Structure 1
Amino acid sequence: VSEQWAGIAVAGPCSRTVLEACVEDPARVSNDNFPFMGVIETVLKDKIPCRIARISFSGELAYEVYTPSDYGPAAMDLLWGVSEPMGGCLYGLEALGAMRIEKGHVTGAELDGRVTIEDAGLGRMASSKKSYIGSALRKRPELIREDRPRLVGIFPRDRHETFNAGAILCDADAVQGFGDGWISGVTHSPELGHWIGLGFIAGGLEAWQGKSVVAADPVRKNNVAVEIVSPHMVDPDGERLYG
């Protein structure tokens, strides 16, 4: 948020258990008292003041703990001291990037200035009851066409193959020109055991599910047969997120 605050993400199936052991009042972080997207102001042990947000970029049950910056090292020591004996570990941006692709969470790789809120599958977040910046533009005919590129997940048909971000998504019978879409991000998914990707293709999942698609990469001279799937490739119902 600013240099005045230190932030620590606590994510995974045991994250609530970790917080319960670290806050002075464990009841504050129960599922009933602290639902998804909630924010509370409380105190960690050792009298460390904090604000905790129950939000998740990883797609797991997760929290973000914010303390005044002077308390940052003490808060980290407390959380790590509880997490490590439970099998916890420190994780970095590469792991976070893999998890966000598994869940279909978009970043700047997807939100490149051409993409609307509907294209990214986030249309339900927009209010239907009041105006907001972009609400009039959002309804223009060009931005609500059914054949606009929509966010999708991508699997290689041969699960042993890999493919690259930036590849062009083409109908298998028409691998040419600008194609029908593009791949914005790829990663190996440890949970699924193969490479996966996020991207956009004209008409989205409904238009391409079950059809033959090629990820064409003329720069690297590599064409890979892929299938179009839901962008929510792991835990699509959010059971972990809301657990």
Structure 2
Amino acid sequence: MRILLAEDDPSIADGICASLRQGGHAVDHVASGNLADAALRDHDYDLLVLDLGLPSLDGSEVLRRLRSRGTVMPVLVVTARDGLPERIRVLDLGADDYLVKPFALTEFEARVRALLRRASSQGKPELELGRLRLDLPGHRAWIDRSPLELTAREFSLLEALALRADRVTSRAQLIEALCDWDQELTDNGLDIAIHRLRRKLHGSGTGVRTIRGLGYLLEEMAESTSDPE
């Protein structure tokens, strides 16, 4: 999953980014409301973690603009602003959850998992394709009942393909899903990740098919005893 964090406190931002990346997510971080608004207009995210007290543009206005564009992406507000009236106001603006600083990272991580679980695949906590089953928020996958051992990058790649299993996913979409602004993924790096994922899916009845000139498609495939390309 790709997450945008809008937080102007460097120490809090560093802790949240480290926690989310350890969980296998790609994270983009901005420290002002204007930059958050611009990022939300220019990129697709699975979750927004939003501080209200942002410079240049208040977090409440970022949220209002996001919802006015019809975006239904889940939003977790993390703020020092406490009090019932403020919580009600922000929830009425369109926030999905509200967490008051200071908070335990374990609680933050649980709330992130809950929001992503709700949003994944129209509220379904799992995706299935043939014998392959994915728990997106939990970053787990199985073939039948056997766990599929994947690196964080391999799972992110499989997740990006599985969420678009009915349509082709371009190389640009895969690179965007796998990387945040602080990381780079070359074409060769993507080829290596796809090759490794294909090998791990080999024999499962599900594979990654190359659509020449367009991208890749995750689909059920006939069983084969030969190694994947």
TM-score w.r.t. structure 2 length?
Answer: 0.27
Larger radius of gyration between Structure 1 and Structure 2: 1
**Structure with larger RCO (C-alpha < 8 A, sep 6+):** 1
TM-score w.r.t. structure 1 length?
Answer: 0.26
- Structure (1/2) with the larger helix percentage: 2
- Structure (1/2) with the larger strand percentage: 1
